[in-house]
Amino acid sequence: MCLDIADCAVAILSEPVEKHDRCVYEMATEILNNEQRAAIFTKVLGKTISYEEQPLEDFYNMCTGFGLPHSFAYNFLSPLNTSNQVTTPQLSIIINRPLHTLEDWLKENVEKFQ
């Protein structure tokens, strides 16, 4: 999850340069579709959460209504190509702890969604 990637950045930037000298780390997190995310929220929160897709035009209008320039709003609409993404379990070595899943993170922060 994003927390894992952030923790990797912190570790890399706070440890001796020699340890990570010229290293390139692939960083990809758990890949879930929107329905899977809704199912995890449902499971952890104990109430039904469903995914409803918003029309692209509505999302674009909302973004530009908040003052985002056209180029930002348009790029948010571009689908991400995740076909070649895989999780990178070896990141746990850098952060010195097991990786978090979305479900793990939700369980740790469930009170914020109540």
Neighbouring residues of 106: CB distance < 8 A, sequence distance ≥ 6:
40, 41, 44, 45, 113
Domain boundaries, the chain: 1-31+84-99
Neighbouring residues of 39: CB distance < 8 A, sequence distance ≥ 6:
none
10-residue mean pLDDT series, the chain (114 residues): 81 92 84 90 94 84 92 73 58 82 88 86
According to the model, what pLDDT value does residue 83 have? 46
